[in-house]
């Protein structure tokens, strides 16, 4: 079962497909930061891709690949079972500025052109919920991009079906809703969605988890009070160490990892100022969990930031964004670490993240630091279930 991962990011989709028994051909990702993480885990460590000789093993812009390797892509026809992945979502996201003029929106056409060239048997496409909502012009709602993609793929001979899926219903401790579209030649695409629901109980049983994983179930073995050591990849920062796992979800995420007293990868704590810690503690003490802070709290601290959410211990989190200071840990006055972010997105602890932790200013347009890599990713726990369903369809 061969697949190509488009707009692969740091590899969340590829990791899940690997766990479901798929073999990668290659991945296309423009960001050198995100590709560095994918390369480390899925090329150097796991040798997951049968990378073709004609394509350099590095980050690529999809438009450059299409223009420079047209013949090579056409030669893959009949050999590729699946093209997976969806274009960047920032232009469509309801959480962002939602800009129809965002150049990244044009990557939809690049995606369709790639499909035309390779002609895989099945397509798996993921994007934000806002992809299904048309942009407004002159107070009129335009056609949603989801309809545009749907009709283009039907024009290429695919049977197409798409739905909004809440990943929290598939074991991910996060209320993350995404538009999933599946297209297939020869079978009804609807069968994918029927299967992932039907197979859910069996999958949970095999992993010894449920669809009721809370935030504390996910990250309570990573609290700062366990103790700290100097961060191995960031001098002058402290990193957290493990306690014993406290839930089956933690055991699943820590497979192959030592039980206690060892530093978790990318578990570096932010160096908050004393007044920031005091403010975070006040928010934890005086705000409702999983809701953005009240106007009274904003006024007390003269806060202009749009989103500040103290997280709830007993439930899953809201959708993680790429901005770590949007959230406050449920029991400690601090933001989440990269490893805690990864846990909530269901990346196992063996998956190591590369590149900068954060960035700011003008570099935000260029860099894709670790928090952003994870915030943009498809949760591997869901993509594994998708991979099982896609295999079943074939």
Catalytic (active-site) positions: 89
Q: How far apart are the first and last CA of the chain?
A: 9
Alpha helices, DSSP H only, in 208-363?
A: 215-219, 248-253, 274-286, 295-301, 338-344
**Which uninterrupted H or E stretch holds 122?**
strand 122-128
Strand partners, 82: 3, 122
d(CA 126, CA 167): 12
Angstrom CA distances, 106 to 120, 148, 178, stand at 21, 12, 20
**Residues near 214 by beta carbon (within 8 Å), at least 6 away in sequence:** 173, 312, 313, 314, 315, 316
DSSP 49: B
Residue 3 φ/ψ region, left for φ over 0, alpha for ψ in the -120 to 50 degree band, beta for the rest: beta
């Amino acid at each position: 079962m061969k697949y190509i991962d488009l707009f692969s990011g740091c590899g969340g989709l590829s990791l899940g497909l690997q766990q479901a028994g798929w073999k990668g051909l290659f991945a296309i990702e423009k960001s050198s930061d995100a590709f560095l993480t994918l390369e480390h885990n899925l090329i150097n460590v796991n040798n997951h891709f049968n990378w073709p000789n004609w394509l350099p093993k590095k980050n690529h812009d999809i438009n450059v690949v299409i223009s420079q390797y047209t013949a090579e892509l056409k030669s893959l026809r009949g050999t590729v079972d699946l093209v997976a992945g969806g274009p960047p979502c920032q232009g469509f996201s309801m959480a962002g500025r939602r800009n129809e003029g965002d150049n990244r929106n044009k990557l939809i056409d690049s995606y369709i052109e790639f499909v035309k060239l390779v002609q895989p048997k099945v397509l798996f496409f993921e994007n934000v919920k806002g992809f299904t909502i048309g942009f407004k012009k002159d107070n009129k709602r335009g056609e949603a991009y989801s309809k545009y993609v749907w009709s283009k793929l039907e024009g290429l001979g695919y049977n197409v079906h798409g739905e909004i899926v809440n990943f929290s219903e598939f074991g991910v401790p996060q209320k993350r809703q995404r538009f999933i579209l599946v297209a297939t030649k020869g079978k009804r695409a609807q069968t994918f969605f029927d299967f992932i629901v039907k197979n859910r109980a069996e999958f949970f049983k095999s992993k010894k988890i449920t669809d009721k994983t809370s935030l504390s179930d996910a990250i309570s073995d990573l609290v700062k009070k366990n103790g700290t050591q100097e961060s191995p990849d960031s001098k002058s920062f402290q990193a957290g160490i493990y306690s014993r796992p406290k839930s089956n979800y933690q055991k699943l995420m820590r497979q192959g990892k030592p039980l206690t007293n060892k530093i978790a990868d990318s578990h570096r704590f932010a160096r908050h100022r004393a007044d920031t810690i005091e403010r975070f503690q006040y928010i934890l003490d005086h705000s409702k969990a999983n809701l953005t802070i009240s106007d009274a709290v904003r006024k007390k601290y003269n806060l202009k930031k749009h989103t500040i959410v103290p997280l709830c211990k007993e439930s899953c989190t809201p959708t993680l964004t790429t901005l770590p200071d949007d959230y406050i840990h449920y029991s400690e006055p601090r933001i989440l670490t990269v490893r805690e972010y990864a846990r909530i997105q269901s990346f196992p602890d063996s998956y190591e993240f590369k590149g900068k932790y954060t960035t700011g200013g003008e570099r935000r347009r260029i860099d894709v630091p670790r928090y952003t890599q994870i915030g943009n990713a498809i949760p591997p726990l869901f993509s594994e279930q998708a991979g099982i369903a896609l295999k079943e369809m074939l």
